[in-house]
Amino acid sequence: MAWGRQPAELSKEQRQLLHRAHQRLRNASHALEALTVVEPVRGRWVATPAPVEVLEAAQNNLHNACQELWRVHQELLRCDPPAGAFGAEPDQRAESGER
């Protein structure tokens, strides 16, 4: 991946925008992980699977956060995402049978 601009060249506001995009992606990833990687606490409770709608919303949030991060990277650092970073949109993958 080629960088058109170095992070040190960004203004304070631009660095904050980049930081917020990274933070949103981390938060979305942690939220999805909390729904899918539930470790049982021995003798205290049994994990209950999250409803499908909740999982889909968390997955969409993660996907949107990832797209936003790359949009900010492209805008501020003038760098493109790696080829195939996103692949087909989620609905297209389901229709084509991809996983």
In a domain, 9, yes or no: no
The answer to whether residue 70 sits within a structural domain is yes
Given a cut of 60, is residue 54 above it in pLDDT? yes
Number of structural domains (the chain) is: 1
Is the pTM of the predicted complex or chain greater than 0.95? Answer: no
Distance of CA 32 to the CA centre of its chain: 10
Domain assignment present for 93: no
| pLDDT value of residue 1 | 57
State residue 41 phi and psi, 5-degree precision: -100, 115
pLDDT digits (tens, 9 = 90+) for 5-30: 888 899 999 999 999 999 999 999 99
Question: Domain of 71?
Answer: 14-34+50-81
Q: Which residues contact 74 (CB under 8 A, 6 or more apart)?
A: 80, 81
Q: Give domain status of residue 65, yes or no.
A: yes
Angle between helical axes of 52-72 and 12-36 (0-180°, round to 10): 160
